[in-house]
């Protein structure tokens, strides 16, 4: 019998987000690095309750997506991320945990844009990020977490599907752009 993950110390979202930010603070990190960090912490407090397979991994992926959408993480190499200056500030201000109440202060978190901005908006075009901002941010975070494009949870003929893909590819492009050019 598995234990409800909410009952296990260190597995609530505030602690998972904290673990993700701290992993990114040490340099480029991956979802696997965050999972290893959480599992070490759980072992240190002797929390050996069985956790449903995939549940902790899902929480880490969600945390990476939400932290990226708030501008606290940025893409690095494929499937890797690093903390941003904004992330360092938030980590210093909230050393005991980061939850959605902390993230809500950032205009870009959760796709809270009230209207499209930039060249696409001026020309009348609509992008996937404007049509379905949460799905876009979820896709962006999924790539940062190292999840494949095939993990897109939305129906193929929906705006959300297209937005998720656009976010996933944007994260991939940013990671490739951050790589030094090899001559």
Burial class, 128, CB count within 10 angstroms (exposed 0-12 / middle 13-18 / buried 19+):
buried
Mean pLDDT of 83-109: 83
Q: Note the pLDDT of residue 54.
A: 77
Q: Note the pLDDT of residue 92.
A: 92
Mean pLDDT of 127-141: 67
Q: Note the pLDDT of residue 125.
A: 38
Tell me which of 34-38, 81-85, 105-109 is least confident.
105-109
Nearest alpha-carbon partner for 13 in 60, 52, 73: 60
Question: What is residue 82's three-state secondary structure?
Answer: strand
Does the pLDDT at position 98 exceed 70?
yes
Q: φ, ψ for residue 36 (rounded to 5)?
A: -60, -40
Contacts of 62 (CB under 8 A, 6+ apart): 13, 16, 141
Mean pLDDT of 127-144: 69
Does the pLDDT at position 67 exceed 60?
yes
Question: What is residue 73's three-state secondary structure?
Answer: strand
Mean pLDDT of 19-41: 88
**Residue-averaged pLDDT of the chain:** 75
- 5-177 topology per CATH: Arc Repressor Mutant, subunit A (1.10.10)
**What is the residue extent of each domain of the chain?**
5-177
- pTM here is 0.62
Q: Note the pLDDT of residue 21.
A: 92
Does the pLDDT at position 180 exceed 60?
yes
Does the pLDDT at position 47 exceed 80?
no
Q: Which sign, positive or negative, has the C-alpha torsion 49, 55, 57, 59? A: negative
Q: How confident is the model at residue 183 (pLDDT cuts 50, 70, 90)?
A: low
Chain centroid, CA 95 distance in Å: 19
Residue 75 CB: number of other CB atoms within 10 A? 24
Does the pLDDT at position 175 exceed 80?
no
Does the pLDDT at position 109 exceed 80?
no
Mean pLDDT of 47-58: 71
Does the pLDDT at position 150 exceed 50?
yes
């Amino acid at each position: 019998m598995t234990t409800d993950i909410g009952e296990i110390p260190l597995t609530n979202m505030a602690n998972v987000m904290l673990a993700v930010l701290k992993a990114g603070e040490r340099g480029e990190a991956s979802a696997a690095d965050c999972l290893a960090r959480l599992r070490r912490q759980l072992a240190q407090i002797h929390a050996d309750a069985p956790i449903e397979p995939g549940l902790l991994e899902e929480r880490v992926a969600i945390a990476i997506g939400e932290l990226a959408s708030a501008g606290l993480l940025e893409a690095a190499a494929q499937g890797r991320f690093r903390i941003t200056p904004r992330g360092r500030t938030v980590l210093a201000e909230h050393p005991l945990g980061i939850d959605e109440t902390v993230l809500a202060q950032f205009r870009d978190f959760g796709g809270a844009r009230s209207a499209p901005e930039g060249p696409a908006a001026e020309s009348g075009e609509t992008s996937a990020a404007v049509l379905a901002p949460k799905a876009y941010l979820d896709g962006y975070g999924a790539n940062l977490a190292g999840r494949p494009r095939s993990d897109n949870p939305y129906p193929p003929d929906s705006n959300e599907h297209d937005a998720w893909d656009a976010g996933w590819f944007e994260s991939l492009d940013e990671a490739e752009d951050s790589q030094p050019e090899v001559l």
